[in-house]
Amino acid sequence: MSATLASVINFILNQADEDGVHKVFAAANQRIETLRNARAAEVTKGMVVRLFDLRPGFLNGLEGEVEEVKRKRKQIIATVLLDERSTTEYSFHREIPSETKRHRVRVPASTCKVL
């Protein structure tokens, strides 16, 4: 019998003791890290991406094309050339020259969803 997500949630809410909940959180965090690393490894130059899971939050939802991907220590960093709509949105929050049509941002590649 395989566990469903609903049965796991039910177990956590109604049966798990504190130690069990800590184990579930540790496993969930490990899985999230695995998924982030896989997503970061997918990102390559030329891909169109949407940014998410970033702080400051105004960056979430911005879109653009990946211009460069570099490894910086243990993290993969993507340089994204924002599209015009996203550049305009960015300019509401950060000062950039008014003539700028497309602005570059550097973000962790794990925060890029390929479109």
CA distances from 58 to 12, 48, 53 (A): 33, 19, 10
Confidence of residue 72 (pLDDT cuts 50, 70, 90): confident
CATH of domain 5-114: 2.30.30.30
The answer on pLDDT for 17 being more than 60 is: yes
The answer on pLDDT for 87 being more than 70 is: yes
Contact of 63 with 83, CB cutoff 8 Å: yes
The full set of domain ranges for the chain reads: 5-114
